[in-house]
Amino acid sequence: MVPLVVIGIYLAIVVYISIFAFRQGKSTGEDFFLASRTIGSLVFFLSLFATNMTAFAILGSSGLSYKLGIGVFGLMATSSGFVIPMTLFFIGTRLWALGKKHGHMTQVEYFRDRWECSTIGTVIFALSVAMLVPYMIISIKGGGEVLSNISQQLGPDGKMVPLISETIGCLIVAVTVTIIVFFGGMRGTVWVNIFQTILFLLFGFVAVWAISRKLDFGEIIQKMGESKTENALVTRSKIDPWFFWSYTLVPLSSIMFPHMSIMCLSARKVSAFKRTVVVYPIAIMLIWLPCVFLGVIGAHEFPALLKTGKTDGILLLMLAKYAHPFLAGILGAGIISAVMGSDCHQVLAVSTMFTKDIFQYYGGDKKYGEKGAVYFGRGFILLITVIAFVIALYTKESIFDLAVRFAFSGFAAMSPVMIAALFWKRSTKWGALASTLYVGGMLIGFYCLSQKFAIPIDAKTPFVPIWTVAEKVVLTIYKNGDIRFFGMHSVVPMVFGSAIAMVIGSLLTPPPSKATIEKYFPLNESV
């Protein structure tokens, strides 16, 4: 019960913070959705980082490193530490400047004004929400796994039994997130994230220290290096080079995530971006390095877990076995803080988009006013959380695979749309539509292939070729459902195909009016 009590205290604190923020807020849309664009540098970094760190970063990274080894750090953390700060610096700052200048609150609002489009903006909105829901699911699912695993105790039959089921755990996380966002809005979300980010930044080192008191890491790594079956886990030999480098495109998704873009629009000054770019790679290392390392150690300590397919829980198993219950509770709270930090922003982002891009755009604010828009946004928070919660209960896929295949790849493939809108005068709404439809079609196509050619978890073969041309394997499916294109991750054809669709669609159609182009690309440009 000790870990659960500690986590309960943590949840009570974050709920109190959100209610306090509610008392400090105003009843305007800009205040509820963007905190009146007053987010300072330190708060901006802490909240932006929390926005991008989910169950994927802690549970997913350790679960994948359990299977693939230490190379997972290079696979995602190294590329993220370089690509994400660059996208924030070159794309985020321009989006912030234009949003502040013209009053935009969402990506779609910007796209509609930039390309003089209406229905096409709605199509982009629909795809963005459809791709964000899987990301919300992994947050709820990850929180449920944490509470279930950390509450396990020895049953009368000698087996470990959780006091809290995954279903109840998911419900607790969903309800807490709903309270934070419903009452606090953007201000409550970022205040909670200040507390949460500090907590999960400390998580890695405390977890490594706690577990190292019971295990000799040096001896374990030496044994793994000498073992024929475990040697590949302490090298990069389990990861194909082409697959490894193809992951460099995945972090392009960061700037296209609605919650990341909305956070960029909420900054007070452009200096907030500069400091974030410097600190972000360091923070990535602080989170990913200990999680990946402990995942590899867990592969040695709990080898039987691989047969179950539930490798996302390896960190929790290690904490339960090697950490003091009180410390396990604090570390469990650290994991949940990472889960909820991003989920809060995702829920708020979807609510903001629906309110601004659908409700207000189609005349709802004229009928119900500014307060009506805020009430509508709060109502949508309840609706979208319930939908994500229900889907999370029936999702069997691992956190890492669910995030990369449906959320990261999809939003990375939409990055050419954002880049074209910000930097290419000749880009058009039809190019954006072509790119959006291509991305949506690819996601549906890859999902159908993964269902049709699914490989049982107990199958001896790790992959099966599904399309061969002139004895050259073009498409391959793996056990986890990954579809690889010439050995590369599916994000490669998605990103390049999206860019080509954007270029061709724009060149074949007339550009926006001269007034609109001069509005966003003035001769004496100051943004």
Q: Rounded mean pLDDT of 132-152?
A: 77
> How far is it, in rounded angstroms, from Cα 401 to Cα 454?
14
Evaluate if residue 525 carries a pLDDT over 60. Answer: no
When mean pLDDT is compared over 35-39, 59-63, 299-303, the highest value belongs to: 299-303
Of 307, 373, 314, give the one whose Cα is nearest residue 30: 373
Evaluate if residue 16 carries a pLDDT over 90. Answer: no
pLDDT digits (tens, 9 = 90+) for 256-314: 888 888 888 877 788 888 888 888 888 888 888 888 999 999 888 888 887 776 787 78
Is 518 buried (19+), middle (13-18) or exposed (0-12) by CB count in 10 A? Answer: exposed
Q: Given this model, what pLDDT does residue 504 score?
A: 97
> How far is it, in rounded angstroms, from Cα 129 to Cα 12?
30
> How far is it, in rounded angstroms, from Cα 321 to Cα 215?
11
Per DSSP, the residues of 53-119 read --HIIIIIHHHHHHHH-TTHIIIIIIHHHHHHHHHIIIIIHHHHHHHHHHT--SHHHHHHHHHT-SH
CB atoms within 10 A of CB 458: 8
Residue 272 one-letter amino acid: A
Query: What is the pLDDT of the chain when averaged over all its residues?
Result: 82
Question: By the 8 A CB rule, do 124 and 111 touch?
Answer: yes
Q: Rounded mean pLDDT of 402-424?
A: 87
33 or 322, greater pLDDT: 322
pLDDT digits (tens, 9 = 90+) for 375-388: 777 888 888 888 88
16 or 27, greater pLDDT: 16
pLDDT digits (tens, 9 = 90+) for 109-126: 999 999 999 899 999 999
Show the tokens assigned to 96: 């912030």
Least confident of 32-36, 68-72, 280-284, 460-464: 32-36
Q: Indicate the DSSP class of residue 280.
A: H
User: Which own/partner pairs from 159-167 qualify as long-range (CB within 8 Å, at least 24 positions apart)?
Assistant: 163/1, 163/4, 164/4, 166/141, 167/393
- Classify 274 as helix, strand or coil: helix
pLDDT digits (tens, 9 = 90+) for 144-158: 877 887 777 656 666
426 or 403, greater pLDDT: 426
Q: Given this model, what pLDDT does residue 94 score?
A: 93
pLDDT confidence of 210, banded at 50, 70, 90? confident
Q: Rounded mean pLDDT of 14-42?
A: 67
Evaluate if residue 86 carries a pLDDT over 80. Answer: yes
pLDDT confidence of 401, banded at 50, 70, 90? low
pLDDT confidence of 424, banded at 50, 70, 90? very high
When mean pLDDT is compared over 360-369, 450-459, 462-471, 496-505, the highest value belongs to: 496-505
When mean pLDDT is compared over 69-73, 200-204, 330-334, the highest value belongs to: 69-73
For residue 521, how far is the Cα from the chain centroid?
32
Evaluate if residue 399 carries a pLDDT over 70. Answer: no
pLDDT confidence of 418, banded at 50, 70, 90? very high
203 or 174, greater pLDDT: 174
> How far is it, in rounded angstroms, from Cα 137 to Cα 170?
10
Q: Rounded mean pLDDT of 445-461?
A: 81
Percentages (nearest 5) of helix, strand, coil residues in the chain:
75, 5, 20
Sketch out the chain's domains with CATH numbers: 2-405 (1.20.1730.10)
Please list the residues that pair with 153 across neighbouring strands: 161
Q: Given this model, what pLDDT does residue 437 score?
A: 96
Residue 232 one-letter amino acid: A
Q: Given this model, what pLDDT does residue 27 score?
A: 58
pLDDT confidence of 213, banded at 50, 70, 90? confident
Q: Given this model, what pLDDT does residue 512 score?
A: 92
Show the tokens assigned to 261: 């873009």
22 or 465, greater pLDDT: 465
What whole-number percentage of the chain has pLDDT above 70? 91
Q: Rounded mean pLDDT of 85-90?
A: 90
Q: Given this model, what pLDDT does residue 122 score?
A: 92
> How far is it, in rounded angstroms, from Cα 46 to Cα 90?
20
Q: Given this model, what pLDDT does residue 441 score?
A: 94
Q: Rounded mean pLDDT of 168-197?
A: 80
Evaluate if residue 527 carries a pLDDT over 50. Answer: no
Is 360 buried (19+), middle (13-18) or exposed (0-12) by CB count in 10 A? Answer: buried
Evaluate if residue 197 carries a pLDDT over 90. Answer: no
339 or 9, greater pLDDT: 9
Q: Given this model, what pLDDT does residue 40 score?
A: 65
Q: Given this model, what pLDDT does residue 37 score?
A: 59
CB atoms within 10 A of CB 514: 8
What whole-number percentage of the chain has pLDDT above 90? 19
Angle between helices 415-423 and 93-102 (to 10 degrees): 60
Q: Given this model, what pLDDT does residue 515 score?
A: 92
Q: Rounded mean pLDDT of 479-483?
A: 78
172 or 397, greater pLDDT: 172
pLDDT confidence of 526, banded at 50, 70, 90? very low
pLDDT confidence of 432, banded at 50, 70, 90? very high
